[in-house]
Amino acid sequence: MKLTKMTHACVRLEKDGRTLVLDPGGFTEEDAALGADALLVTHEHPDHFDEGRLRAALEANPAAEIWTLRAVADRISAAFPGRVHTVGHGDTFTAAGFDVQVHGELHAVIHPDIPRITNVGFLVDGGRVFHPGDALTVPDHEVETLMLPVMAPWSKISEVIDYVREVRPRRAYDVHDAYLTDLARPIYDHQIGALGGTDHLRLSPGTSADV
């Protein structure tokens, strides 16, 4: 499987000539979702869900479909009947040849005064890749490659380190990193790499790795 990191939270997975795109939000490239055979969206926040990018992908490929939670599905399903699927914790499905399990229910706490929204994570191909969205969800399954939300308004580095330790993936690639400046990156790279207990890796937007 080929994994391509796009800006911020978006990831493209390619296998057997088909492409799965996760979380093509407003911080990522305009064309991040184009060419997708299937799209997964973890939650409704605009850095993960951009309606224009999803519409462009579905219009460019009439066979493309979306799997997401109800809050997102309700905003786009009417325009693409039968192509937008609502999923929740515990669901399993196949999208463009990728086997997917859904884990998690709620977004991480930003502040006690801010109501929590729904959020799901997607475990792809039996744990080859796990993208948790905006939550530190620990799936009840071994994870080979964890897409690690490394910097967010709702997290601190000790929580990120403990999350890596709890999931115990073979490797962790940074996502949710648009908030992290180049000046601060070496601090995060060192601390997570030294304390997380696994290979902590980073891909520049547009670059790929085999997983």
Domains in the chain, ordered, with CATH? 2-142 (3.60.15.10)
Question: Rounded mean pLDDT of the chain?
Answer: 97
Tell me the mean pLDDT in the region 2-20.
98
| pLDDT recorded at residue 160 | 98
Q: Is the dihedral of CA 82, 33, 97, 166 positive or negative?
A: negative
Percent above pLDDT 70 for the chain: 100
Residue keyed to tokens 């795109």: 21
In 43-134, beta strands by DSSP E:
65-68, 84-86, 92-95, 98-103, 121-124, 129-131
Which pLDDT tens digit goes with each residue over 97-136? 999 999 999 999 999 999 999 999 999 999 999 999 999 9
Which residues, at least 6 apart from 196, have a Cβ–Cβ distance to it below 8 Å? Answer: 161, 164, 165, 172
List the strands of the sheet with 145-149, edge to edge: 92-95, 98-103, 121-124, 129-131, 145-149, 171-175, 199-201
Q: Among 79, 64, 63, which Cα is nearest to 24's? A: 64
- Rounded CA separation 26/77 (Å): 19
pTM: 0.97
- Rounded CA separation 116/120 (Å): 13
